[in-house]
Amino acid sequence: MPDKRANSGQVLVLNCGSSSLKFALIDPRNGDASLGGLGDALGHSAPTVSWNIGGEKHSAPLKEGAKHTEVIEFVVNHILSGQGTLLQAISAIGHRVVHGGEKFSHSVRINDQVIRAIQDCVALAPLHNPAHLQGIEAATKAFPGLPQVAVFDTAFHQTMPRQAYIYALPYELYTEHGIRRYGMHGTSHRFVSERAAAILGKASTDVNIISAHLGNGASIAAIQAGKSVDTSMGLTPLEGLVMGTRCGDIDPGLLLHLGVRLDYCLKEINDLLNKKSGLLGISQLSNDCRALEQAASEGHQGAQLALEIFCYRLAKYIASYHGVLSKVDALVFTGGIGENSAFIRENVVSRLGGLGYQTNQARNLEKRFGAEGHIESATNGAPSPTILVIPTNEEWVIARDAAQIIEGDNSTPSAQSTGGG
């Protein structure tokens, strides 16, 4: 018989995309996941759900056109119903919400006012926020009365000073339309910067961190005394680093050139910048870093160029964030690429010799596949600044925030204006 108390206080973490729903049942005390899964191709002709429970993988088809509601019903009625007390152990639901605009600088318990505020931010995240609202509605139906918490990707960056978030555009675009830099991946940057402080044996308010979240989407943040003061993503996730299929920083004049000279329509420009650029666009081969490393080692010139540009751009951002922060206590690599690619880390760090950075080769190779720790060289005459590899865990942050808020330890119960930061 499972011990009900051992399981109590679990948080069901939901990450709803337009045609997908990632779910996980997380223990907020230690981040352990007793269930993880994905509803995919939602709203399409052959949606599926796949999940991993107790180390075993399963999958099942859903009925044609099934959406977020059907996935959550499946989780409740088919996956959790046969798992002893696991269903009763759920004490809260935590939702990842991509855009909270300027309304949210913290995670919040979801109520009608919060739902309206997430709706108000739909214009800033037209693909994501509507899906989050569907997820909230579906979870409310499946778990009536259970508290739900929203954890925003943008919230951590609400501490950026205005010099970092205002575009050099007519100011009324900001005041009237909210056009400014918001930044994303905040949950991950927050997690790894707190973890970095713990590894350094300091409070997060006592350290400055440069955090590089490198996955299919990629961003970097300058974190001063635990607070984000700059980050590479902007109004949308397009700005900043080279990503899997997104271009990152480009000359905005290029958009005019595409439209006026080359007759691209807006949809084509959108697809070009978001889906056909980045590592995929340059290499003409793949958006996947692992595949590119393999191809580059076999002499594929497109792959070699894509990785070179990826690393060059990232190194430039790291160097510029040294100018943003008065001192840097650690450079942190995270995300699928940052956590696993010794090649990319070495390539980036080798470009930062002027700032004293140097990796220890053996440690760099060791820190992969979930391993955490230092990779800087300690042996050189002048030791390198600290470089850490830290696996991110956004689900754990969402579960922790949800648990804390419902326990009332850290409650910010209503939509709160930060008044432009």
Binding-site member from 336, 359, 360, 405 for ligand AMP (CB under 6 A): 336
The dihedrals phi and psi of 73, each to the nearest 5 degrees, come to -60, -40
Strands 90-97 and 148-152: parallel
User: Minimum Å distance from CB 148 to ligand AMP?
Assistant: 26
User: Minimum Å distance from CB 8 to ligand AMP?
Assistant: 31
Residues contacting residue 139 through CB under 8 Å, at least 6 positions apart: 12, 14, 72, 93, 95, 146, 148
**Which positions are catalytic?**
153
Question: By CB under 6 A, which span of 225-233, 267-275, 329-337, 410-418 interacts with ligand AMP?
Answer: 329-337
78 vs 290 by CB, closer to ligand AMP? 290
By CB under 6 A, is residue 282 in contact with ligand AMP? no
Running DSSP on this structure, what letter comes out for residue 359? B
By CB under 6 A, is residue 289 in contact with ligand AMP? yes
By CB under 6 A, is residue 293 in contact with ligand AMP? yes
Binding-site member from 265, 290, 407, 420 for ligand AMP (CB under 6 A): 290
Question: By CB under 6 A, which span of 37-45, 141-149, 337-345, 382-390 interacts with ligand AMP?
Answer: 337-345
Number of residues forming the site for ligand AMP (CB under 6 A): 12
Question: By CB under 6 A, which span of 5-13, 119-127, 156-164, 330-338 interacts with ligand AMP?
Answer: 330-338
By CB under 6 A, is residue 268 in contact with ligand AMP? no
Closest CA to 314 of 350, 368, 284: 350
Taking CB under 6 A as the criterion, which residues in 226-255 touch ligand AMP? 244
Closest CA to 230 of 311, 159, 294: 159
394 in a labelled binding site: yes
User: Minimum Å distance from CB 311 to ligand AMP?
Assistant: 13
d(CA 136, CA 322): 40
Q: Which residue has the tokens 């329509």?
A: 265
340 in a labelled binding site: yes
User: Minimum Å distance from CB 340 to ligand AMP?
Assistant: 3
By CB under 6 A, is residue 386 in contact with ligand AMP? no
Question: By CB under 6 A, which span of 9-17, 75-83, 97-105, 288-296 interacts with ligand AMP?
Answer: 288-296
254 in a labelled binding site: no
Closest CA to 203 of 180, 237, 227, 173: 227
52 vs 216 by CB, closer to ligand AMP? 216
Q: Which two tokens stand for residue 276?
A: 């056909």
Q: Which two tokens stand for residue 302?
A: 């497109």
Question: By CB under 6 A, which span of 1-9, 95-103, 137-145, 332-340 interacts with ligand AMP?
Answer: 332-340
By CB under 6 A, is residue 306 in contact with ligand AMP? no
Which amino acid does the sequence have at 344? I
120 vs 346 by CB, closer to ligand AMP? 346
Handedness of CA 237, 240, 241, 243 (dihedral sign): positive
User: Minimum Å distance from CB 405 to ligand AMP?
Assistant: 26
By CB under 6 A, is residue 385 in contact with ligand AMP? no
* C-beta separation of 353 from 335 below 8 A: no
Binding-site member from 219, 341, 347, 386 for ligand AMP (CB under 6 A): 341
Q: Which two tokens stand for residue 87?
A: 């269903």
Closest CA to 93 of 43, 154, 21: 21
Expressed in angstroms, the distance from the first to the final Cα of the chain is: 51
Closest CA to 402 of 25, 137, 13: 13
User: Minimum Å distance from CB 383 to ligand AMP?
Assistant: 27
Contact pattern for ligand AMP over residues 197 through 226, marking x by CB under 6 A = ------------------xx----------
Q: Which two tokens stand for residue 315?
A: 């190194």
By CB under 6 A, is residue 335 in contact with ligand AMP? yes
Handedness of CA 221, 224, 226, 227 (dihedral sign): negative
The Cα angle at residue 418 between residues 415 and 420, in degrees rounded to 5: 135
79 vs 342 by CB, closer to ligand AMP? 342
d(CA 286, CA 290): 9
* C-beta separation of 213 from 334 below 8 A: yes
337 vs 415 by CB, closer to ligand AMP? 337
Closest CA to 400 of 227, 191, 226: 191
Q: Which residues bind ligand AMP (CB under 6 A)?
A: 215-216, 244, 288-290, 293, 335-337, 340-341
Residue ranges of the binding site for Mg(2+): 15, 394
